[in-house]
Amino acid sequence: MATVAPDLRRSPTRPLSTLGVRSGIGLGITLLWFSLLVLIPLSAIIVTTTEGGWANFWRTVTTDQTAHAIRLTVTAALVVTLINAVAGTVIAWVLVRDRFPGKALLELIIDIPFALPTIVAGLVLLSLYGNDSPLGLHLANSSASVYLAFLFVTLPFAVRMVQPVLEELDLDVEEAAASLGASRYVTFRRVILPSLAPAIAAGAALSFARAIGEYGSLVLLSGNLPFKSEVASVRILSAIENDNPAGAASIATLLLLVSLTVIVVLDIVQRKVASRG
């Protein structure tokens, strides 16, 4: 923020703080609420990790089985996030720009992965893609099942973030670009994409964060086979069952760090793309 160096940056139009009494109370309540719900639990995880010590943290996350589970989780979450960024934008585009029968129904169905309890989603996925699959797709107990479950639960994030921005986008600007001789590609690349970038990035960040901690929707279908389809959250569960909270917190802390990194990277990419407009 510009308020970091008040002596240099302070100007009559930008006071150090805009907080009056009322907004001060507002900020206080916000921070209290945020602390209770987010900051304190997060600190607790990190404190539990440090109780085990650095050696324990390192041993936990580098154990072959755990390391593989973390790699699978992060890789699948990244791939799914990329797919969502593209597919979600396309779906949002279709929903906003096109008219077709059944559109309202499609709008409704998009949100179902949000609304469905994850364990129910797991049951549905198992009966559709398990060994008794009516579709002839046998994905049970393979790493592909992890990707599938992630895709299922995270799809709405990208669509729902991009859609409202796309709705607000002025068609006039696109027409102006076209009349100035821009090809459809250039229009998309230079006009539409920069406006959508923040929304796509936000959707991608949510998708990634959701996927990396996903548990309920995949446990039934994935079979949790070590080195094959076992994800990080299952390793956390194992550590807890073995009365090893420091081990569980170690894996959780690593996942938190990865999420944070991905969210920061997404933000940087988003700013770059948006500034090219």
Partner 1 sequence: MTDQVYARKSRKGLFAIIAVIVAALVAAYFLFAGGDDSDASEGDGPNAGQTISIVGFAVPEAANKAIAAEFNKTDEGKGVTFKTSYGASGDQSRAVEGGLKADYVHLSVATDVDRLVKAGLVDENYDKGENKGIVSSSVVVLGVRDGNPKNIQSWDDLIKPGVGIVTANPASSGAARWNALGAWTHITENGGTEAEATTFVDALFKNVVSLTNSGRDATQSFLDGNGDVLIAYENEAILAAQNDQGFDYVIPETTFKIENAGAILKDATPAAQDWLDFVLSDEGQKQFALKGFRPIRDDVDYGGTVEGAPDPKKPFPAIKHLVTLDDIGGWAAVKDKLFGDGKDGAPVGIVTQSIEKSGKASQ
**Binding stretches for partner 1 (CB under 8 A):** 56, 59, 63-65, 68, 123, 126-127, 130-133, 140-141, 219-220, 223-228, 230, 234, 237-244, 246-247
Q: Which is nearer to partner 1, 17 or 65 (CB)?
A: 65
Which residues on neighbouring strands pair with residue 11, listed in sequence order? 14
Q: Which is nearer to partner 1, 28 or 53 (CB)?
A: 53
Angle of helix 193-212 relative to helix 143-168, nearest 10 degrees? 150
Rounded to whole angstroms, how far apart are CA atoms 133 and 245? 38
Q: How far is the CB of 68 from partner 1 (least distance, A)?
A: 8
Q: How far is the CB of 191 from partner 1 (least distance, A)?
A: 29
Q: How far is the CB of 219 from partner 1 (least distance, A)?
A: 6
Q: Which is nearer to partner 1, 194 or 223 (CB)?
A: 223
Q: Which is nearer to partner 1, 194 or 226 (CB)?
A: 226
Q: Which is nearer to partner 1, 129 or 157 (CB)?
A: 129
Q: How far is the CB of 152 from partner 1 (least distance, A)?
A: 17
Q: Is 224 left (phi over 0), alpha (psi -120 to 50) or beta?
A: left
Contact call for residues 204 and 81 (beta carbons, < 8 A)? yes
Q: How far is the CB of 50 from partner 1 (least distance, A)?
A: 15
Nearest to 213 by CA among 130, 276, 153, 159: 153
Rounded to whole angstroms, how far apart are CA atoms 152 and 265? 24
Rounded to whole angstroms, how far apart are CA atoms 166 and 162? 6
DSSP state of 11: B
